[in-house]
Amino acid sequence: MPEFPKNVGIRGIGMTDWVGYACRLTTRFDYVNTFYHKPPRLDITADVLPYDNELDFVLSSDVMEHVLPPVGRAFRNVLKMLKEGGLLVVTVPCSVDEVMREHFIGLSDFEVVNFRGKPVLLNMSADGQYQVYDDLVFHGGPGEALEMRVFSRTAVADEMRQAGFVDVRILDDHPPFGILSTTPPLGVLAIGRKPIGASGPS
């Protein structure tokens, strides 16, 4: 990154990016690191977004496993924010399972409460039924760190394609870029572009 030429004409955002590279990105591009829990805020599942066909790139590092379901809405919103040809780079933890596992089916009106010293998720489904989940997984870091799902190795790419991204690829072992594969896989890095001639899904 230090060798990359400065170009403030390239505009992008991160979603709770690690400060180690977020600070460097600000010296090279018109880049803003956004957060769910503090300014500059970004709720990637919101109906109203702060960007509209404006961004050259969006970085999403270990975020999509935390967003509220359905996760496809988050990917479609990223597509809306990108310019034509804009790039999404996304990483998520993953499992060896063949399909993505959603932890909270029918999540609607919910709250995480402390019951006898343990976090419990209480949900009222759309049909008025109460649900209790007590096997919660939280990842380290600030803001909303409750794990909503576990991706399979290919699920991220599948979700990106369904949202409208093209040229979607999962990047395998490539040490010069800091991409190291493991067995079993601990995570996955995928990239995809917004197609030329697309203004985003309605």
Amino acid 171: pLDDT: 85
- With a threshold of 0.85, does the pTM exceed it? yes
User: Assign residue 167 a region: left if phi > 0, alpha if psi is -120 to 50, beta otherwise?
Assistant: left
- pLDDT of 183 higher than 80: no
Q: What is the mean pLDDT of residues 38-64?
A: 96
Q: Give residue 62's identity as a one-letter amino acid code.
A: D
- pLDDT of 199 higher than 90: no
Amino acid 186: pLDDT: 74
Beta partners for 30? Answer: 11
User: Assign residue 16 a region: left if phi > 0, alpha if psi is -120 to 50, beta otherwise?
Assistant: left
Amino acid 201: pLDDT: 47
- pLDDT of 61 higher than 80: yes
- pLDDT of 3 higher than 50: yes
The CA-atom distances, in angstroms, between 103 and each of 89, 121, 168, 195 are 24, 11, 26, 32
* pLDDT tens figures, 13-45: 999 999 999 999 999 999 999 998 899 999 999
Phi, psi (deg, nearest 5) at residue 178: 80, 20
Distance separating alpha carbons of residues 104 and 149, to the nearest angstrom:
8
Amino acid 48: pLDDT: 95
Amino acid 172: pLDDT: 73
Q: What is the mean pLDDT of residues 136-165?
A: 87
CATH topology of domain 11-103+147-193: Rossmann fold (3.40.50)
Any idea what the Cα angle at residue 18 is, between residues 15 and 22, rounded to 5°?
A: 80
Amino acid 34: pLDDT: 97
Which of the residue ranges 68-82, 104-118, 129-143 has the most confident prediction, judged by mean pLDDT? 68-82
Cβ atoms within 10 Å of 139's Cβ, excluding its own = 12
